[in-house]
Structure 1
């Protein structure tokens, strides 16, 4: 298997790289702040006041930036926690009035069931009409006087189209001689004949190009309803959204809240440590200089 061309593999690698870059950035920030602290401590001990003041100047700048980052991650933590709580409440009580009701206008189960029923009904009707055309017109052997039903159709008979549903709207298994909706366009294309200027077949075939185009459009419509109808109904009654929220709550919310909490607490601790170090550098430098002057 070629993992390099796999979209899922590329997406996972992109997410992992983004996480690694964030981790590296946070580690670098923490390392720089700690290095700054040790340098200030070293310069203070050896009385390098000029270097201490330079470190203090840039140190306050770094502390300010770190505190801003801390506030950003704190906001992200609160937003993430509130979002997870809102999703949890909505999943637990989908019919109750929650903060997500205005964003997710879901319908009740009865309406969703009626929509699904109508989609199945349309699919059944389209397949029935196509099979009637195939049986009575395309596979018919009419004399020339029966135009426009006669257009010199000839050759092997076209197989009927498989109806994926029974009359009671339950799923149906195709018969061996029927063509599935997913293969119908490709199979029926073999039965297209070439026509003359009078719209008569001049080669072996059962359908004209125009009839095949109309038939293909109807088949595509019925196949789309059959394939995506259940998914659209799930969107309508928010089943798909509910499942997505459940996956997010179980797989992502705990880790996001925990790691964001660790990040902003860590940044806050580093900022406070460096800030107190800056203050102690200045105090120690003044005290050391005072002792030198008094001695």
Structure 2
């Protein structure tokens, strides 16, 4: 259905509750891989001596493709039988009814019966074309909506990754009163920045590539179905009209055209039946994956979790930078709250005075676990507003000339540090989602809940419409020839009756 990303062979992560780390390594399919939609995909595989396929949902496995395609074998067989057998039959009918004139008198019963059936099958063809046209439109829209949703989720992930990368890069350049992050932390930031950019670039490239390919296929499929619906409707109506008028030559041309079109429509019907089954398999596979999100499955080829090494490093570095920035801010605050004698160094004594500046709450401990804020500590969302009350006016040499413990420059630098820390804190749930793959789970839950019902329903509409049109036009072909011949025999019989002795009495009885 929807093929968007490529994945690696190893998936690590945290469980949904975040209680303990679970490590899955794809060493072998027997002990680590989850077979998706196992019962639903158990079908005979013609490429494996018609043994039952047991590999589960996997669109990259040719055995799965052969097994699901085999569900449409009856339609393909009907198409072959129709093309060969009915072609010969139509030829014989044309010869018997149009060339042999040993029994020129027509049957009123056959004439009326052919007319009724022809009218019925023509109406059926019209209804089938309407179902086909409506179904293809709704299927195209529902598929496009699903694709747009998945692409939107992918783009949001890429955007969030780049935002985290930008915030980390900004943290590297922060300096408060000549105090900055340690050099090893800056080096780690550069390394993680490159990892994030590589992951985001790969994700974006795969998304755009597969989005383009899928939309191209959808466009071609929609165009083909619209053409089939329009041509089959036109053929059905023209065939009915020509047979009514007894235009045998034009009927024969339409018979040959319809013969080929019905064969193509039956084949297309079989393809859509297989597609309908693939859609159903995919929806079941998504639902099963949601219950086992960290297991390695064939679904990784469509929507994998982000590389765990990148997610792990990003989360770790984000917490490290957030912790150190708050510590750096609080160090400056502690220095500003000191009342040193004039003999102290300039960095400690800039004539600060007034109430003590409240410190910033650090949401993390030294080992990067969550910490509860203490009374009097400021939160990220109100720290800069509170600190504005502690800013003094400074002279040309940078010392305070009014009451206050923070210079405007210090306040500005501290505000930048708080904004960066706040940004990293806000992206913590996103980074957690990368680790436990919840963002993929949420995407698949949404697809299974809101998109799969429409995809299943409208793909079924398409192949039902194709089947109706195929059968209706198939039977109409025979009736076109029969009715046109009966029409010809009717005219011939009328002439024979009118030219025979006692033709008036006989003609009245016949009429």
1:182-236 per-position Cα deviation (integer Å, ceiling 9, x unaligned): 2323443454455454333456543334323432332233223322223212212
Q: Is the 8 A contact 2:364 2:371 kept in 1?
A: yes
Q: Are 1:116 and 1:230, in contact at CA under 8 Å, matched by a contact in 2?
A: no
Query: How far, CA to CA, are the matches of 1:174 and 1:282 in structure 2?
Result: 93
Contact in 2 for aligned 1:192/1:206 (Cα 8 Å): yes
The structure that has the greater radius of gyration is 2
1:141 aligns with 2:339: yes
3-state SS of paired residue (1:252): helix
What corresponds to 1:183 in structure 2? 382
Between Structure 1 and Structure 2, how many residues are aligned?
273
Distance, in Å, in 2 between the alignment partners of 1:21 and 1:259 is 9
Gaps of 5+ in 2: 1-136, 143-221, 497-511
What is the correspondence of 1:58-207 to structure 2 with a 5 Å cutoff? 73-74=272-273, 76-94=275-293, 96-101=295-300, 104=304, 119-120=318-319, 122-137=321-336, 139-145=337-343, 146-165=345-364, 169-173=369-373, 175=375, 177-193=376-392, 195-201=394-400, 205-207=404-406
Matches within 5 A, 1:266-281: 266-281=465-480
Q: Aligned to 1:182, what secondary structure does the other structure show?
A: coil
Change (3 A) 1:212 1:56: farther
Gaps of 5+ in 1: 1-17
Q: Could you say which residue in structure 1 is the equivalent of 2:413?
A: 214
Q: Deviations over 1:252-281 (max 9, x none)?
A: 334422332233222332243235435533
Report deviation, 1:21: 9.4
Counterpart contact for 1:193–1:205, Cα < 8 Å: yes
Q: Distance in 2 between matches of 1:70 and 1:63?
A: 10
Q: Pairwise CA RMSD of aligned residues? A: 4.8
- Pick which of 206-215 and 229-238 moved more: 206-215
Change over 3 Å in CA distance of 1:148–1:128 after alignment to 2: closer
Cα separation, 1, equivalents of 2:328 and 2:245? 95
